[in-house]
Amino acid sequence: MKGEPMATVETTAGAGGKHLTFKLAGEEYGLPIGKVQEIIQRQEITRVPRLPEFVSGVINLRGKVIPVLNLRRRFGLPAQTSTGRACIVILQAPSATGWMLTGIVVDEVTEVVEIPTERVEPPPELGARVNLAFVAGVAQVGARLILLLRTDKVLDSREWAVVEQAAQTEKGAD
Amino acid sequence: MVRNFVAEYRQAAAALVPTLAALRSGRWGADGRPELTQLAHQLRNAGLFLDFPRLVTVAQLLGELVSLATLTSVQINLLVACLDVAEKLVGGIESNQKEPPLAGELAALADAARQQGLTWKPAGEAAPPPDTGLSDAEKIAQLLEDAQAPPAAPVAATKTSAATDMISIFIQDAEEVLDHSEQDLLRLEQEPARLHELLRHIHTLKGNSGLMGFDGLQQISHRLENVLQQIRDGVAATTPARIKFFLEVVDALRQRVALLAKGGTANPGDDTLWLERIDAVLHAKDAAGGAIAGTVTEPAASSLPAARGGVRVNVERLDHLNDLSGELVIATAVVNHLSACRPGSDVEQFNRAFHQLNLITSEMQDTIMAARMVPVEVACRRLTRLVHELSEKTGKPLDLQLVGVGTEVDRHVTELLADPLVHLVRNAVDHGIESPSARKQAGKPAVGTIRIEAMHHSGEIWIIISDDGQGLPREKILAQARARRRIGATEEPRDEDLFAVIFEPGFSTAETVTEVSGRGVGLDVVRRNVERLRGRIEVQSRPQLGAMLTIKLPLTLAIIHGMLVRAGAEQYVLPMLAIRESLRVAAAEIHQVLGRGEMIVVRGETMPLFRLADLLMIKQPAGQAAGELVTVIEDGDRRVALLLDELLGQQRLVVKSLGDALGRIPGVAGASILADGRVRLILDVPGLIRIAHERMT
C-alpha cells in the first residue's frame, strides 16, 4: 500500500520532530511540519455536490483549485461558528498521481514546537474524543497535551470516493 | 556491409561536389547544410557500427561545424579539412577494410578544433576497440548473432533516467519516421520520386537504432534499405505486391517500437524471419527480367517541403506553462476588479498600466496555447493506409482527399479525434460508397471520393467528413428510431433530429438490415470523444449524392464562454455552447406530472423541468421561493429545462480541473476562478441531462 512508509514514520516510535500545533474544539493538535505547505486566511469555500459532509468544498489557492476538509466534522466534533482566528492549513498529501494539496480548517494555529521523540506516548485507549485511527501519539509539552495527527489517515482521499458511491446508492433507492 | 557503406558515402559525396567547390573558395551557403548534416550523421553511424573510431571523431567534428549558425573562414577551412580527412579514411577503408592511421592529419584537425573551441573526442584513444583478432566479416556475423539473442539491447540492461529519456526520444522519432515512410510507400506508385525520401527515412531509422543498440530494428531497416536501393538503382521494380510487403515490414518495425514504448526489448522474437523474408525479395530480382522500371531521378531539393522548425517540449512543462498563463489571466482580472472599486488619484495611470498588463497577458496566453497546437493532419495519418486497405478489401476504388488539414488544433483534439475519424471513414467506405458497378449505373465516377476538410468557422473548428456515396438510409433509420421510441410513430422529424439518433449507443446492429450494420458501436465512440472535446456533430445526407458529417469543436479547450448563474445560495457556470435559450415563465406554466416531476412547454416542445440543486443533490434551505427563470440546456437533441434564480452574465473563463482527489463528480465538468478570486463549478451539461433522464425513469 502506498501510504505504508509514511505510516511507519508517523507511528509513536518516530513521531517526534517539529510540529505545527493548532486548536480545534478546545484540544491542541500537532501536524509534522514537513507536511505543511502554508497557512492561509479563512476564505469562502465553494461547495461541491455529492461529497461527504467533512469535505467543505474547494478554494482557490493562487490559481489552483484544492479541496478543503472540515476537521470538526471529520473528527465528529460539534460544529461551531468560526472565531476570527480560524484559518486553513494547506497540507501535502500523497495521491495517485504524486502530490496533492488539501486544506484543513482549524480554529486557531498556535505555534511550531519541537517535540522530542521520548515525550511521545501511544494514543490513550480512553478519554480521547477523536477517532484514534487519526492519532499517531500524544505528546506532553510542559503542561500541554498535544494530539499528533497522522496526515495520511486524516487526508485519505479514498474515503471520499466511498462516500460518493454511497450517495449514488442512496439516489438509486429513492 | 563495408562495401555498402562506401557506396553510400560515394553517393553522398558526389551530391556535395558543388557545395564543396563553394567551400573551397571560402563561401558557406546554408543550402548545403542538410546534405552535410546527413553526411556527418551517416559517417558517424557507420563508424560506430562498423567500428571505425577515427571516422566517428571526424564525423562528430563535422556535425558540430555544420550545426553552427555562421562559419568564419577558419572554420570553413576546418570543415573542408574534415571532409578531406573523411575522404581519406573512407578510401583506406575501401581498399584495406581498415582505417588508415592518418596520425598527422588527425592531429592537425584536433589542434584546429581545439583552437576553435570545438569538441574533439578521439573515440579510438578513449576506448580502443578490443582487438579480438576477428576479421570484419566475423565481427559482423557476431553482431548479427547478438541481434538475435534476446535481450539484445545493452541499453535496456542499464536503464538510467538519461537512457530512458534517450529511448523515449528514439521512440518518438521512430514513430514519426515510420508514419512518414508509410505515407511514402502508399504514394510510391503515383510519385516515384518519393523513393528518395523513403530511403532517407529508413536510413535515419537504421542509424538511430544502431546508436541505441536495438539490433533487430537496425538489421531489418538495413535490409529494407538495401532492397529500396535496388529499386532506386533500377535493379528491381516497384510492384504493388512489393509495396504491400514493404508496408508489412513497416508494421513489423512499428511493432518493435511499440514493444519498446511499453518498456520491453524491441524484440518480438521473429527478427530472423523478417530478415529472411526481406532477403528473399532482395534476391528474387525481377522474374520478368526486362520489365524494370526506369530509374528514378532525384527531385530538385527545393521541391521538397521544407522541414518545419520545431522544438520538442515536455508536455508536462507545457501544461504547467499553460496553467501559469491561466493564472495570469486571473490575476489580471483581479486587478481589473480592484481598479473598478478603488477611487484614487492616479486612476488614469493605473488604467494605462492595467491595459498594458491586459495586452501582455492575452498575447502570452495565445502564444502558449499555440505551442500546444498541431495540424489536424496528425489525426489523419492512419487514414491513407486505412483507405488503401479498405479499397483492396472491398474492391471499391477510392480516393481520399485531405483539405485544409494544416489547420491547427490543440494536441488533445488530434488525440481524441484519430479514432473517430477511422470509424467515420470506415463507415463511409462500408456503407456510403457503392460498388463500382452500382456507381456506374448511377452515372457516378467509378472511384469513390472521401473528403476530409478542416477549417475555422465562426470561432470554432469544423472538421467535415463527406463522401459521394448513396447517403444514409433514411427510411431504415426512421423505422429503427421509431422502434426504439426515440421518435413518435406519427412524427415526421427533420433530418438533423433524425440522424442524431445514429450516434446513440447500440443503435442499428442486426435490426437495421445488413446495409447499416456496424454503424452502432463506432458512432457511439465518435460521439463520446466529440463530447469530451465539448463539441457536437451534425449530419446531412442526400440520397444518391452522399453523406456529410460535420464535427464542430470549440477553438480552445482551456477557455470556455460560460454563463454565471445563481441557484439558491450557490453560483455555477453553464457553458454557453450548451445553453439553448433562457426565458421567464409564469408559475402557472409549470405543470406537475403525476406528482413525480415537473414539466413545461417551450414553443410547443414539452420538456422536463428540474431544479439545479435537486439534480446536483445539494441541500437547499427549505421554503425557497421557486424562481421563474428557466434556462433550456441541451445535449444533442436531448433538452432539459433548469429552474434558476438569476443569470449573472457571460464571461470567458479558464477551465481548471478539480484534481484527482475530487475526481469525477456527476454533473460537474470542472471549476473556474472568477475575477473576485472565488471558485465556481462549471457544470457538465451532458452529465446533468443524464442525471435528469435517470430521474425520469
Cell numbers describing residue B449? 471520393
Q: Is A166 on the interface with B (CB under 8 A)?
A: no
What backbone phi and psi angles, to 5 degrees, belong to B593? -110, 100
Chain A residues inside the 8 Å CB shell of B659: 65-67, 100
Q: Is A157 on the interface with B (CB under 8 A)?
A: yes
Q: Domain B559-696, what fold?
A: OB fold (Dihydrolipoamide Acetyltransferase, E2P) (2.40.50)
- Do the Cβ atoms of B570 and A47 come within 8 Å? yes
Q: What is the pLDDT of residue B342?
A: 61
Place of cell 452502432: B520
The answer to whether B2-131 and B156-290 have equal CATH topology is: yes
CB pairs below 8 Å between A and B: how many?
77
- Do the Cβ atoms of B617 and A66 come within 8 Å? no
- Do the Cβ atoms of A49 and B673 come within 8 Å? no
Name residue B681's beta-bridge partners: B572, B671
Q: How far is it between the farthest Cα atoms of chain B?
A: 103
Place of cell 515490414: B249
- Do the Cβ atoms of A51 and B660 come within 8 Å? no
Chain A residues inside the 8 Å CB shell of B677: 60
Question: For residue B672, what are the CA distances in angstroms to B51, B219, B316, B634?
Answer: 59, 53, 21, 21
- Do the Cβ atoms of A48 and B657 come within 8 Å? no
Question: For residue B607, what are the CA distances in angstroms to B126, B527, B667?
Answer: 80, 23, 19
Q: Is A44 on the interface with B (CB under 8 A)?
A: yes
Quote the minimal CA–CA distance from A59 to chain B in Å: 6
What backbone phi and psi angles, to 5 degrees, belong to B14? -60, -40
Q: Domain B156-290 in CATH: superfamily?
A: HPT domain (1.20.120.160)
Of the two residues B429 and A168, the one the predictor is more confident about is: B429
- Shortest CA distance from A50: residue in chain B: B617
Quote the minimal CA–CA distance from A154 to chain B in Å: 13
Using CA atoms, how far apart are residues B330 and B328, in angstroms rounded to an integer? 5
Comparing C-alpha atoms, which of B368, B362, B378 is closest to residue B319?
A: B368
Q: What is the pLDDT of residue B603?
A: 86
Chain B residues inside the 8 Å CB shell of A49: 616-618, 665, 667-668
- The pLDDT tens digits for A88-115 are 999 987 766 567 889 999 888 988 989 8
DSSP letter, residue B130? P
Using CA atoms, how far apart are residues B110 and B45, in angstroms rounded to an integer? 20
CATH architecture of B2-131: Up-down Bundle (1.20)
Supply the DSSP string of chain A, one letter for each residue. -TTHHHHHHHSGGG--EEEEEEEETTEEEEEEGGGEEEEEE----B--TTS-TTEEEEEEETTEEEEEEEHHHHHTPPP-PPPTT-EEEEEEEEETTEEEEEEEEESEEEEEEEE-GGGEEPPPSSS--S-GGGEEEEEEETTEEEEEE-HHHHT-THHHHHHHHHHHHHHHH-
Burial class (CB in 10 A: 0-12, 13-18, 19+), A44: exposed
Quote the minimal CA–CA distance from B481 to chain A in Å: 28
Low-confidence residues in chain B, pLDDT < 70:
1, 29-31, 49, 69, 122-165, 266, 282, 284-314, 317, 339-347, 349, 458-459, 506, 508-521, 556-558, 620-627, 659-661, 663-664, 697
Using CA atoms, how far apart are residues B389 and B402, in angstroms rounded to an integer? 17
In A96-125, the residues whose Cβ lies within 8 Å of chain B are 96-97, 100, 102
- Shortest CA distance from B667: residue in chain A: A49
Using CA atoms, how far apart are residues B438 and B466, in angstroms rounded to an integer? 19
SS3 B640: strand
- Closest partner CB to B326 (pick from A63, A102, A164): A63
SS3 B338: helix
Q: What is the pLDDT of residue B662?
A: 72
- Do the Cβ atoms of A48 and B668 come within 8 Å? yes
Chain A residues inside the 8 Å CB shell of B657: 65
- Shortest CA distance from B680: residue in chain A: A46
Q: What is the pLDDT of residue A1?
A: 39
Rounded to an integer, the average pLDDT of A2-14 is 41
Contact B609, B643 (CB under 8 A): yes
Contact A108, A83 (CB under 8 A): yes
- Do the Cβ atoms of A171 and B618 come within 8 Å? no
ipTM over 0.85: no
Using CA atoms, how far apart are residues B394 and B540, in angstroms rounded to an integer? 25
Q: What is the pLDDT of residue B621?
A: 61
Using CA atoms, how far apart are residues B670 and B691, in angstroms rounded to an integer? 17
Quote the minimal CA–CA distance from B689 to chain A in Å: 16
Q: Domain B375-554, what fold?
A: Heat Shock Protein 90 (3.30.565)
Chain A residues inside the 8 Å CB shell of B673: 60, 63, 65
Chain B residues inside the 8 Å CB shell of A97: 660
Using CA atoms, how far apart are residues B221 and B209, in angstroms rounded to an integer? 9
Contact A162, A170 (CB under 8 A): no
Chain B residues inside the 8 Å CB shell of A62: 327
**Is A4-173 a domain of CATH 2.40.50.180?**
yes
Residues 6+ apart with CB under 8 A from A167: A50, B617
- Do the Cβ atoms of A58 and B662 come within 8 Å? yes
- Shortest CA distance from B674: residue in chain A: A60
Would you list the domain boundaries of chain B? 2-131, 156-290, 315-371, 375-554, 559-696
Using CA atoms, how far apart are residues B400 and A12, in angstroms rounded to an integer? 70
Comparing C-alpha atoms, which of B534, B473, B461 is closest to residue B502?
A: B473
Chain B residues inside the 8 Å CB shell of A47: 570, 618
CATH architecture of B315-371: Orthogonal Bundle (1.10)
Q: What is the pLDDT of residue A141?
A: 86
A-interface mutation test, from B610, B614, B679, most A Cβ less than 10 A away: B679
Chain B residues inside the 8 Å CB shell of A168: 666
- Shortest CA distance from A52: residue in chain B: B662
- Do the Cβ atoms of A58 and B658 come within 8 Å? yes
Name residue B136's beta-bridge partners: none
Q: What is the pLDDT of residue B399?
A: 92
- The pLDDT tens digits for B596-612 are 788 898 888 889 999 88
